[in-house]
Structure 1
């Protein structure tokens, strides 16, 4: 259950931990009807980012987050203590609706950590090391999306662009500021370190003092989907407009990265 890896020659790595829809048969038979919808998939995100700028490296999950969540701490520690969130193997949707007929136990966690979680992060770590060796710096841009309205997780309507740097510690200030400038100039709604401050990927890999910078981008799905309910179809017009903003963000990161290596 290895992830899909495409190696580019630039300094930016796109991580896609939640686009997978693969569900092993032994997991599928234990999901209930709601679970089999795979509602919390990051629908079409890898398509949204495809080919935006030259030289991108991509690491793309193939398995559903309901098998095991690749953006959660493998220890099971909560990313947001005291706030509603889903775990390493989710028990519910983002609407707090159960997804299991037969819930997973410790043996399931151990199995899918070994079969899915560790291979994904081994692949991502290998690309970080390769890119940093080539450029002296690597930028991990963690790609996500979520429904714009999830009352169990947050109040109101989520902005289009949700930038996460864990309070500014996972990347250089210049990178954070540059992404915010593009977001502000886009005319879209956006926030820095709002409800989503960066998950385990951003927090684990973001070591700017070692030349590895990490930023999470959580997109509200209404910015690019026809509907946030099944069949979760991509809206081509919305997607094309959003791709222009994302292209500018990635081009800005790729342009700034070599300067950080020389600093």
Structure 2
């Protein structure tokens, strides 16, 4: 097995004779760049991170898929947001092109989050255009170029590419969301309402997870964000699916510590990866 690293940006594990399957983890990194300065407590910043997801999916390379893990924390720059999802009020000068702030940006959780732990401010002053551009040039774009390169390589060699974007969600929805106060499902599969992948991939993943007794929903809590929107092109053979996993399955959300069940979840997700690899092999040219 080959291990490739772009220091501070991502790590990648490639099995020998990898199937055209990529499991990527864009929001679990915790390597804060030295230049990062915040008024928030580290404990609050850490609550923005989908902790331990990279460990839960650590076995996918053993199953024949590529594993890609982003190192930077989403409190620094959120790789699952559009590159123009920036609040113009959070930067000192005018951005060179028109910005596209989303409702999430207005709530402080856009490309460059301004709050953590629900309400705690991350900065005491505005950021410069140069600082935000640095984060895009040195972290955001290198990661997304790698995702795009891998998927395009799959398609060129096999005619298809399967992309699983791996995330975790709080067990109980926060008070400002559409599902506020609800107990979430064990896994929620997001294909942006059928636009980023074919239904066969969703069915295969849902069937594998349900086989372990998990409650699986589709586009119920999260329909899929920028990673699947940016890369999914089912009409061209590239299928992107977001997988949201309930954090209570593998960690204590209060203490932020791993639960003993993490090892079992890892083994099960390795089996899910093996199922997707077989699925891809049946469809590869």
Please, what TM-score do these two structures have when normalized by structure 1?
A: 0.88
Conserved in 1, the CA contact under 8 Å of 2:29 and 2:49? yes
- How far off its partner does 1:193 sit? 0.5
User: How far apart, CA to CA, are the structure 2 residues paired with 1:243 and 1:60?
Assistant: 15
Corresponding residue for residue 217 of structure 2: 191
Query: Does structure 1 residue 20 correspond to structure 2 residue 29?
Result: yes
CA distance in 1, matches of 2:229, 2:267: 27
Identify the range of structure 1 (71-80 vs 185-194) with the bigger mean alpha-carbon deviation.
71-80
Q: Is this contact kept in 2: 1:91–1:103, CA < 8 A?
A: no
1:64 Cα deviation after fit: 0.9
* Structure 1 range deviating more: 90-99 or 59-68: 90-99
Tell me: CA distance 1:257–1:84, structure 2 relative to 1, closer, same or farther (3 Å). farther
- SS at 1:175 equivalent: helix
The 1:68/1:136 distance shift into structure 2, 3 A limit, reads: same
Offset from partner CA, 1:30-86 (integer Å, 9 cap, x none): 342267642111111111111244222122111111111001111214666799572
User: What is the correspondence of 1:19-58 to structure 2 with a 5 Å cutoff?
Assistant: 19-27=28-36, 29-33=37-41, 37-52=45-60, 53-58=62-67
What secondary structure sits across from 1:181 in the alignment?
helix
Does residue 170 of the first structure (1) align with residue 189 of the second (2)?
Answer: no
Structural mapping, 1:24-103, within 5 Å: 24-27=33-36, 29-33=37-41, 37-52=45-60, 53-76=62-85, 77=100, 86-93=109-116, 95-103=118-126
Q: Deviations over 1:97-140 (max 9, x none)?
A: 32223343533322211111001111111111222233221111
Q: Which residue of 1 aligns with 2:207?
A: 181
1:162 Cα deviation after fit: 1.1
**How many residues get paired?**
258
- 8 Å CA contact 2:187–2:217 kept in 1: the answer is yes
The Cα offsets for residues 213-237 of structure 1, whole Å up to 9 and x where unpaired, read as 1111111111110x1134x22112x
CA distance in 2: counterparts of 1:88 and 1:81, whole angstroms: 9
Q: Does 1:228 align with 2:253?
A: yes
Q: Distance in 1 between matches of 2:135 and 2:79?
A: 10
* Conserved 8 A contact 1:163-1:216: yes
SS of the residue 1:72 aligns to:
coil
When the two structures are superposed, what TM-score results if normalisation uses the length of structure 2?
A: 0.82
Partners of 2:63 and 2:126 lie apart in 1 by: 43
Question: In the superposition, relative to structure 1, how do residues 173 and 36 fare at CA in structure 2: closer, same or farther (>3 Å)?
Answer: closer
d(CA) in 1 for partners of 2:23, 2:248: 21
RMSD, matched Cα: 2.4
CA drift at 1:23: 1.3
Aligned partner of residue 215 in structure 1, secondary structure: strand
Check if 1:120 corresponds to 2:127. Answer: no
**Are residue 258 (structure 1) and residue 281 (structure 2) matched?**
yes
CA distance in 2, matches of 1:124, 1:198: 16
| C-alpha distance in 2 between matches for 1:195 and 1:80 | 16
Structure 2: runs of 5+ lacking an equivalent: 1-7, 86-99
1:115 alignment partner, SS class = helix
